[in-house]
């Protein structure tokens, strides 16, 4: 999908609003979300049917030029084929006219993006984890969502309702007359709306083009360093030397008793079995919904806590320094994985990123191997080892005794004075030279093998770059991309 470019002075933002639909509106929402899922499954079957057909023909010895032609998965091609098939297919006969065309376009667009991701991942042109072949979406497990880009999308003058195409007026859970006032003043224009069943409640996300106005922070010249942890969610020290902390509420730990009881009830019901095709009983579905409500409440409490913390910090300080934590690697610790996931370190950084941009302030991300906890905040000496069980930092040189997290906060806020440029990871001045810097105290051991390259150079051989070999393979495979995808 083509990215929208806002006008000068405007920015593309999103407003997520909770809905309170009546029975009629809720039935239409389910119908549109189901139509999007049905269109997605149709596109997956439409494209992969040719893959299986070509594979069967190849087993019969049919030559390449006589095989069934490939089917394109581009959005215009899928939309054209779907419009021709929906009028004659018994799968859509009798009910496809009751939904907006945007419902089916949502499913087709998602299928086209899924096949693009698979093709790029197969050829090595996509970063991240390997993407598999798109699969069908289950009626019971699929996430219900539908996106509207055309039609009447507006907030009613009373501020209590939103109008969506073919769905009509839907009541909002909260009064949002402020958004209506922005639209009336010409400072906001709605681009699209996405309805989604999220945590048991229907929500609508409005993508808008809104006039960008910087909100001045309380202390624009002050900086703060934030050290995240499990015992204490955040310990922050500002440039004036003041310390503060945010206790970790541990919402998931507090709900463990309810979750265990709800899980026991679910386990005693007749649940689904994929091997035998057994369907869950009504009592199992009811018990599963009760368990999901506990998870939803924990997620809502966590989201509220993180938003309050990040909003308070972003609206007060002109510079915020955080660490580049390897949250995925930390989550592999079987003893701390649940508490690390409950703390949501990655979500804190994500919220600080866009909230500092909204206020026009600076966010500095320290290097992942910056020794914030091992460095003395008074004299700068770096310890060789500091186990996680040691909660108090004791400097052997100057005799400083300070809490481990508070010491890390002071080091992070001192890093803001030595930062240049945009403040991203690695965009730092030269680090201060410590008096006694142990080996490997601030940098991970290299994983490359320069010894092998040196031997190849002495032998007079050519050192082939893996990247160059990969690019050559991609060029050779570009002529048979479709065949290599299956």
More confident residue, 381 or 445: 381
Q: Which of 341-350, 377-386, 422-431 has the lowest mean pLDDT?
A: 422-431
pLDDT band at 3 (very low <50, low <70, confident <90, very high): low
Distance (Å, rounded) from C-alpha 278 to C-alpha 27?
Answer: 27
| 366 pLDDT higher than 60 | yes
Q: Is 323 a catalytic residue?
A: yes
pTM equals: 0.78
Which of 210, 246, 323, 342 is labelled catalytic? 323
How does pLDDT run across 136-187, given as a tens digit for each residue? 999 888 999 999 999 999 999 999 999 999 999 999 999 999 999 999 999 9
Torsion of CA 130, 136, 140, 142, to 10 degrees: 50
CATH number of 219-245+293-416: 3.30.420
In angstroms and rounded to an integer, the radius of gyration of the C-alpha atoms of the chain is 28
Q: Is 210 a catalytic residue?
A: no
CA 384, distance to chain mean position in Å, is 36
pLDDT band at 425 (very low <50, low <70, confident <90, very high): very low
| 428 pLDDT higher than 80 | no
Domain residues of the chain, as ranges?
Answer: 14-23+147-211, 30-123, 219-245+293-416
Q: Which of 243-257, 260-274, 278-292, 369-383 has the lowest mean pLDDT?
A: 369-383
Which of 209, 210, 342, 405 is labelled catalytic? 405
Average pLDDT score, the chain: 85
How does pLDDT run across 343-355, given as a tens digit for each residue? 999 999 999 999 9
Residue 92, C-beta contacts closer than 8 angstroms, at least 6 positions apart:
38, 42, 85, 86
Q: Is 26 a catalytic residue?
A: no
Closest of 226, 441, 420 to residue 323, by C-alpha: 226
Q: What's the pLDDT score for residue 424?
A: 41
Which of 210, 227, 246, 342 is labelled catalytic? 227
Share of the chain above pLDDT 70, in %: 85
Q: What's the pLDDT score for residue 419?
A: 67
């Amino acid at each position: 999908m083509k990215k929208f470019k806002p006008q000068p002075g405007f920015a593309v933002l999103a407003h997520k609003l909770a809905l309170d639909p009546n029975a009629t509106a809720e039935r239409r929402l389910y119908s549109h979300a189901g139509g999007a899922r049905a269109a997605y499954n149709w596109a997956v079957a439409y494209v992969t049917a040719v893959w299986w057909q070509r594979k069967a023909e190849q087993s019969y010895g049919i030559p390449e030029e006589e095989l069934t032609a490939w089917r394109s998965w581009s959005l215009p091609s899928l939309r054209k084929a779907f419009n021709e098939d929906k009028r004659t297919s018994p799968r859509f006969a009798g009910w496809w006219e009751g939904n907006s065309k945007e419902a089916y376009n949502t499913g087709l667009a998602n299928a086209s993006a899924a096949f693009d991701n698979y093709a790029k991942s197969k050829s090595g042109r996509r970063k991240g984890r390997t993407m598999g072949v798109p699969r069908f979406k289950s009626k019971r497990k699929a996430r219900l969502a539908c996106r509207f880009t055309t039609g009447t999308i507006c907030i009613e003058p009373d501020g209590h309702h939103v109008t969506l195409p073919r769905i009509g007026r839907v009541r909002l859970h909260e009064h949002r007359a402020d958004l209506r006032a922005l639209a009336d003043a010409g400072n906001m224009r709605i681009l699209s709306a996405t309805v989604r069943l999220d945590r048991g409640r229907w929500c609508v996300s409005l993508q808008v083009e809104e006039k960008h106005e910087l909100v001045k922070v309380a202390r624009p010249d002050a900086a703060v360093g934030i050290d995240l942890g499990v015992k204490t969610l955040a310990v922050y020290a500002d440039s004036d030397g003041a310390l503060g902390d945010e206790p970790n509420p541990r919402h998931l730990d507090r709900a463990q008793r309810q979750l265990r009881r709800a899980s026991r009830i679910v386990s005693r019901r007749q649940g689904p079995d994929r091997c035998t095709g057994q369907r869950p009983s009504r009592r199992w579905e009811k018990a599963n919904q009760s368990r999901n409500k506990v998870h939803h409440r924990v997620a809502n409490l966590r989201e509220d806590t993180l938003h309050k913390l990040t909003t308070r910090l972003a609206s007060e300080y002109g510079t915020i320094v955080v660490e580049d934590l390897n949250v995925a690697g930390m989550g592999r610790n079987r003893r701390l994985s649940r508490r690390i996931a409950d703390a949501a370190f990655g979500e804190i950084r994500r919220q600080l990123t866009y909230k500092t941009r909204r206020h026009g302030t600076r966010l500095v991300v320290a290097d992942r191997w910056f020794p914030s906890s091992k460095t003395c905040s008074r004299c700068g000496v770096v310890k060789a080892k500091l186990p996680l069980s040691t909660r108090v930092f004791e400097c052997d040189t100057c005799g400083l005794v300070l809490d481990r997290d508070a010491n890390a906060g002071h080091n992070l806020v001192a890093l803001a004075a030595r930062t240049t440029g945009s403040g991203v990871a690695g965009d730092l001045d030269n680090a201060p030279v410590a008096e006694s810097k142990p080996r490997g105290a601030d940098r991970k051991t290299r994983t490359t093998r320069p010894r092998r390259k040196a031997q190849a150079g002495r032998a007079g051989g050519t050192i082939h770059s893996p990247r160059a070999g990969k690019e050559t393979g991609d060029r050779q495979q570009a002529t048979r991309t479709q065949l290599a995808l299956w």
